[in-house]
Amino acid sequence: MNRLNRGELLAGLAVAGFGAFLSIKALDLNLGSMRRPGPGAVPLGVGLIVGVLGLVAALQGARQAAGALQPIRLRPLAAVALALIGFALLAETAGFVPAALFVVLVSGAGEMRDNWLALTLAGLALGMAGSALFIRLLGVPLPVLPPALGIF
């Protein structure tokens, strides 16, 4: 009964820590005066509020019965993170179509283990449709294919 709910406690403490970080960082800014609050005044106040609320949430959560929390699954997290980072690295250098294929395949791997053909086709189709819509029609400044190929 008196077991601490570790997850809830840590979550609350994380919020409180964010508040403390804000408040300390705000002290580097000019706080100004009552009459003319400076750029640091509101951040300091908000930081303190976040800190206090985080502590309350942590205290409250620590005594809460552990609910039916879903376990944190690493595979989806890793797949989505890798897909986004890949897009950021590839879009400007390798072009939109390769980046799109990478996003679809890598994020798809977060869940699916078969059906790679469908994913590849979807990635290529989305890459081409996306190029037409976003790059040709709306003028988003991205290359369609690797610029080094000199096709587009």
Partner 1 sequence: MTEFWANVALGLDRALAADALLFCFIGVSVGMAVGVLPGLGALAAISLLLPITYYLEPTIALIMLAGIFYGAQYGGSTASILLNLPGTPSAAVTCLDGYPLARQGRAPLALFVTTINSVIGATVAIVLLMGFAPMLAEWALAFGAREYFAIMLLGLIAASTLSLGSPVKGLAMVAVGVALGLVGTDVNTGTFRFTFGFLELADGLSLIAVAMGLFGVAEILSNMGARRPARYDVRQITFRAMLPRRGEWGPVLKASARGSVIGSFIGILPGTGPGIASFMAYAGEKRLARDPSRFGKGALEGLSAPEAANNASVQAAFIPTLSLGIPGDAVIALLLGAMLLHGITPGPNLIANEPALFWGLIMSFWVGNLILLVLNIPLIRLWVRLLSVPYSLLYPAILLLICVGVYAGNNNVFDVYIVLIFGVVGYFMLQYGYPAAPLLLGFILGPMMEEHFRRAMLLGRGDPMTFVQSPLAASFLMAAALILTLSMLGVWRRWRQRGGRVPN
Q: Facing residues of 37 across strands?
A: 32
How far is it, in rounded angstroms, from Cα 59 to Cα 19? 16
Nearest approach in angstroms of CB 51 to partner 1 is: 9
Nearest approach in angstroms of CB 147 to partner 1 is: 16
Angle at 117 between CA 111 and CA 118, to 5 degrees: 70
Nearest approach in angstroms of CB 130 to partner 1 is: 6
Q: Which residue, 38 or 147, is less far from partner 1 as judged by CB? A: 38
Q: Which residue, 75 or 151, is less far from partner 1 as judged by CB? A: 75
How far is it, in rounded angstroms, from Cα 103 to Cα 79? 9
Nearest approach in angstroms of CB 145 to partner 1 is: 16
Mark out the alpha helices in 32-115 (DSSP H runs): 41-62, 74-94, 96-108
Q: Which residue, 125 or 151, is less far from partner 1 as judged by CB? A: 125
Q: Which residue, 3 or 150, is less far from partner 1 as judged by CB? A: 3
